[in-house]
Amino acid sequence: MGVSAATTQGIRVEVESRYLPSESDPANERYFFHLYGSSA
């Protein structure tokens, strides 16, 4: 997927989302994403 980043009050946070098809069920409009994050 993609990486999103934001800095607020001097803290930078980056989050990467990944779509997990094994946990999703598009026929029932259920989409599962896992988020990985870090801060500095």
pLDDT score for 36: 81
pLDDT score for 26: 96
User: What DSSP assignment string belongs to 5-33?
Assistant: EEEETTEEEEEEEEE-GGG-BGGGTB--E
| 17: nearest Cα among 38, 32, 2 | 2
Query: What gap in Å lies between CA 15 and CA 31, rounded to an integer?
Result: 18
pLDDT score for 35: 83
Query: What gap in Å lies between CA 15 and CA 9, rounded to an integer?
Result: 17
pLDDT score for 8: 94
Pairing assessment for the beta strands 3-8 and 11-19 based on DSSP bridges:
antiparallel
Domain that holds residue 30: 3-39
When divided into structural domains, the chain yields a total of 1
pLDDT score for 40: 67
**pLDDT, tens digit (0-9, with 9 covering 90-100), for 1-40:** 678 999 999 999 999 989 999 999 999 999 998 888 877 6
pLDDT score for 38: 78
